[in-house]
Amino acid sequence: MREIVLDTETTGLDALRGDRLVEIGCVEMFNHMPTGQTYHVYINPERDMPQEAFAVHGLSTEFLADKPLFAAVADEFLEFIGDAPLIIHNASFDIGFINMELDRLKRAAIPRERLVDTLLLARRKHPGVSNRLDDLCSRYAIDNSRRTKHGALLDAELLAEVYIDLIGARQSSLILAETERTQIHVVEVTRRVREVPLASRITVEEREAHRAFVATLGDNPLWAEFKDAD
């Protein structure tokens, strides 16, 4: 099964009040394992970058000035994600911004039925504790030392690792690998036939005595059909 792990960066927290997308990062997974295929793009938000948002992801107005508008990358983005389920941490936030951009282009929104929210999964599995991405990386011993600032592609890569642990897929793959390593291989061995059969060690007298004994066991014993066999 194909899945897409997705993350975004934005100019702020509220798409309804003019905040815009500035970065999208996606990681393709197949059967819960990353394939190595990714999608990443920076986007010109057509507005200034508030200092609070810049402090989070480090993407300045100047850096984004020559980047494409969302309209220019919408088709390739939609083609990459296809109809696969979208694995997102705090999915309502990211999908709200993406659907707002799609609405500006009069394009169909991505339905929420496609979303797998890893924040909700983490809260069910680890109730009563913080389940930010950094917390989950620490909990599952995932190296996030490169995450000095938020970045959509890096965060999607880390989230893919977290997701594997959240659903227990890493343990399942290890068990499968161990099973494959310890599998017993049956090798067919060709039987050699003697050119000259060995001489029988049973004497004629012993054979006749056995026949006489069998005859005393009844007219229709189970082995009657074999009694005359040599």
Catalytic positions = 150
CA–CA gap between residue 141 and residue 164 (Å, rounded): 12
- List CB contacts of 124: < 8 A, sequence separation 6 or more: none
Q: Is the dihedral angle over the CA atoms 105, 111, 114, 120 positive or is it negative?
A: positive
Beta bridge partners of 7: 25
Helix/strand/coil for 149: coil
Residues in contact with 205: Cβ distance below 8 Å, sequence separation at least 6, in sequence order: none
| Alpha helices (H) in the chain, listed in sequence order | 51-57, 61-64, 70-81, 91-104, 118-125, 133-139, 152-166, 169-181, 204-215
> Which own/partner contact pairs does 105-113 have at CB distance under 8 Å and 24+ positions apart?
105/70, 105/71, 105/74, 107/74, 107/78, 110/86
DSSP string, 19-67: --EEEEEEEEEETTEEEEEEEEEE---SS---HHHHHHH---HHHHTTS
